């Protein structure tokens, strides 16, 4: 007995010391390759292509914030260990990328390293951009040089020790940076599926929200696109699983959703997905959206995520015209009648606005009701060829109790759910990272 404890202690001590030595080596190792020296001829075509790449890659979405010029940064990202702000990527000399070379930029995009050699936090999705081709990155660089320079220093990050030590990111990169692919190798194959792979994984970085993360904020690559809660919203499982994912959607439905945020009878995009549609996906060509949809339909199915009710169960619960089911909370029903029913209709088909159809949506079939509560709090709007359709936010007008009652009514009546969303959960969502 004593012998085996001693053996175990020795094994633990040996593993810990090897770990410490490895960590120290990684932290002090000057592993960054120097930036390459590059020259390119700038043409209007190259700039136009760079503008398209910037839209696909969502640079403006993250590098802009209310009250500041496009690309001038300042947007906060709340991470488990503090807040990081996006930086100014306009060509301003003092506070932006004005002093950078094309080689510095390429290295930043592929490896997450600044011009001065310090490491960037992975809130900047360089783990995805790592696979961007050199030619796409250089087109982007040509385009960013045409953006008006703005003097705008980034706000100071507020990160707890030891996470405020940029050197630590090296260790993180060692553990979580995709090591299987060489930088720039994302678009190696021909054809729609390969183009879709490149767009989804390298440019539009869907996995940054839709892939689960481990304790250390690293993406769990074995569970790619199988769903995660991000900034207080559920980014659904979008693998080809028929119940948990988008396996039942047609390619056309996916294309419509990505282009406009609305796929009739399937889903309407609110919150962070709404923003991705507006700032990025709505600007992509039909061919690229189709390639993405075809690729998504081939992502291996995963049933990761909470036990969702099926569209058929949701249909059954909402088919009764008018509020009838006894188990539905009368307070929630009353609030719905007063504040929501005029737009949404009792049978879940939407009234004047087709996008307000609630029946069978993924958000109402989710037992946590997370996105239902978020949408009620924040409101949402989407722009279709026929005009804008909007929902006001109710954060000021509903108490936690009222929020819980009406959200529970919605998930039970339109989503076939059995359990209520408690006032405590509603409160936690209201005060959470994005509330």
User: Where in 221-260 is the site for ligand HEC (CB under 6 A)?
Assistant: 230, 233, 235-236, 238, 246, 257-258
In angstroms, what is the minimal distance from the CB of 324 to ligand HEC? Answer: 18
Do the strands 76-79 and 82-85 form a parallel or antiparallel pair, or are they unpaired? antiparallel
Identify which of residues 39 and 354 has a Cβ nearer to ligand HEC in the complex: 354
Indicate which single residue of 59, 145, 289, 308 sits in contact with ligand HEC (rule: CB under 6 A): 59
Identify which of residues 272 and 428 has a Cβ nearer to ligand HEC in the complex: 272
Q: Scan residues 257-286 and list those touching ligand HEC (CB under 6 A).
A: 257-258, 267-273, 276, 281
Position of tokens 């693998």?
Answer: 239
Q: Scan residues 135-164 and list those touching ligand HEC (CB under 6 A).
A: 140
Tokens read off for 374: 């978020």
| C-beta of residue 335 within 8 angstroms of C-beta of residue 405 | yes
In angstroms, what is the minimal distance from the CB of 175 to ligand HEC? Answer: 17
**What long-range pairs does 173-177 form, CB within 8 A, spacing at least 24?**
173/111, 173/112, 173/119, 174/26, 175/216, 175/218, 176/122, 176/127, 176/216, 176/218, 176/219, 177/112, 177/127, 177/130
SS (H, E, C) 200-234: HHHHCCCHHHHCCECCCCCECHHHCCCCEEECCEE
Q: Calculate the alpha carbon distances from 128 to 122, 167, 294 in Å.
A: 10, 20, 20
Contacts of 40 (CB under 8 A, 6+ apart): 46, 102, 138, 142
Identify which of residues 19 and 265 has a Cβ nearer to ligand HEC in the complex: 265
Interaction pattern, residues 284-303, with ligand HEC; x per rule: CB under 6 A: --------x---x-------
Identify which of residues 60 and 185 has a Cβ nearer to ligand HEC in the complex: 60
Binding of residue 123 to ligand HEC (CB under 6 A): yes
In angstroms, what is the minimal distance from the CB of 319 to ligand HEC? Answer: 18
Binding of residue 337 to ligand HEC (CB under 6 A): no
What is the spatial distance between Cα 324 and Cα 342, in angstroms, rounded to a whole number?
18
Give the burial string for 138-157 (b: 16+ CB within 10 Å, else e): bbbbbbbbebebbebebbeb
Tokens read off for 233: 């919203």
Closest CA to 336 of 388, 376, 395, 396: 376
Number of chain positions touching ligand HEC (CB under 6 A): 72
Three-class secondary structure of residue 382 per DSSP: strand
In angstroms, what is the minimal distance from the CB of 188 to ligand HEC? Answer: 20
Which span (34-42, 188-196, 203-211, 420-428) binds ligand HEC, by CB under 6 A? 203-211
Binding of residue 64 to ligand HEC (CB under 6 A): no
Indicate which single residue of 110, 149, 187, 208 sits in contact with ligand HEC (rule: CB under 6 A): 208
Tokens read off for 339: 């504040």
Binding of residue 133 to ligand HEC (CB under 6 A): no
Q: Scan residues 93-122 and list those touching ligand HEC (CB under 6 A).
A: 97, 108, 114, 120-121
Q: Scan residues 355-384 and list those touching ligand HEC (CB under 6 A).
A: 355-356, 358, 361-364, 371-372, 375-376, 380-382
Interaction pattern, residues 384-413, with ligand HEC; x per rule: CB under 6 A: -----xxxx-x-----------x---x---
Identify which of residues 22 and 286 has a Cβ nearer to ligand HEC in the complex: 286
Burial class (CB in 10 A: 0-12, 13-18, 19+), 28: exposed
Q: Calculate the alpha carbon distances from 14 to 1, 2, 17, 23 in Å.
A: 20, 18, 5, 14
Indicate which single residue of 47, 69, 251, 343 sits in contact with ligand HEC (rule: CB under 6 A): 343
In angstroms, what is the minimal distance from the CB of 30 to ligand HEC? Answer: 19
Could you count the other beta carbons within 10 Å of the beta carbon of residue 267? Answer: 21
In angstroms, what is the minimal distance from the CB of 357 to ligand HEC? Answer: 8
In angstroms, what is the minimal distance from the CB of 4 to ligand HEC? Answer: 47
Q: Scan residues 3-42 and list those touching ligand HEC (CB under 6 A).
A: none
In angstroms, what is the minimal distance from the CB of 398 to ligand HEC? Answer: 7
Binding of residue 128 to ligand HEC (CB under 6 A): no
Closest CA to 409 of 349, 331, 322, 316: 331
Closest CA to 131 of 181, 93, 58: 181
Identify which of residues 198 and 233 has a Cβ nearer to ligand HEC in the complex: 233
């Amino acid at each position: 007995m004593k012998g085996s404890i001693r053996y175990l202690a020795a094994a633990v001590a040996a593993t810990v010391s090897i770990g410490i030595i490895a960590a120290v080596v990684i932290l002090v190792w000057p592993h960054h390759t120097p930036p390459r020296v590059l020259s390119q001829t700038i043409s209007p075509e190259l700039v136009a292509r760079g503008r398209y790449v910037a839209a696909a890659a969502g640079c403006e979405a993250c590098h802009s914030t209310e009250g500041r010029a496009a690309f001038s940064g300042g947007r906060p990202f709340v991470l488990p260990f503090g807040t990081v702000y996006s930086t100014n990527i306009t060509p301003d000399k003092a506070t932006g990328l004005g002093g950078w070379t094309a080689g510095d930029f390429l290295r930043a995009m592929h490896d997450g390293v600044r011009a001065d050699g310090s490491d960037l936090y992975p809130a900047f999705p360089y783990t995805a951009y790592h696979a961007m081709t050199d030619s796409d990155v250089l087109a982007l660089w040509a385009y960013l040089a045409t953006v008006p320079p703005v003097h705008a220093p980034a706000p100071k990050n507020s990160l707890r020790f030891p996470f405020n030590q940029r050197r630590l990111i090296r260790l993180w990169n060692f553990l979580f940076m995709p090591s299987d692919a060489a930088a720039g190798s994302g678009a190696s194959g021909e054809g729609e599926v390969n183009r879709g792979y490149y767009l989804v994984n390298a440019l539009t970085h869907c996995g940054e929200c839709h892939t689960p993360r481990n304790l250390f904020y690293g993406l769990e690559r074995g569970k790619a696109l199988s769903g995660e809660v991000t900034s207080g919203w559920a980014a659904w499982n979008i693998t080809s699983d028929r119940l948990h994912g988008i396996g039942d959607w047609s390619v056309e439905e996916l294309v419509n959703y990505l282009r406009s945020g609305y796929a009739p009878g399937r889903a309407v995009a609110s919150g962070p997905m709404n923003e991705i549609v507006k700032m990025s996906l709505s600007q992509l060509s039909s061919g690229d959206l189709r390639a993405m949809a075809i690729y998504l339909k081939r992502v291996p199915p995963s049933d990761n995520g909470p036990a969702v009710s099926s569209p058929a169960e949701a249909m059954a619960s909402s088919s009764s015209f008018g509020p009838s089911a006894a188990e539905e909370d009368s307070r929630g029903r009353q609030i719905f009648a007063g504040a929501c029913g005029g737009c949404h209709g009792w049978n879940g088909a939407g009234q004047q606005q087709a996008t307000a159809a609630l029946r069978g949506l993924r958000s109402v079939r989710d037992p946590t009701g997370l996105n239902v509560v978020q949408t009620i709090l924040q409101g949402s709007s989407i722009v279709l060829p026929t005009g804008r359709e909007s929902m006001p936010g109710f954060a000021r007008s509903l108490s936690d109790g009222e929020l819980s009652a009406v959200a529970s009514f919605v998930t039970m009546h339109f989503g076939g759910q059995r359990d209520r969303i408690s006032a405590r959960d509603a409160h936690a969502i209201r005060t959470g990272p994005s509330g």
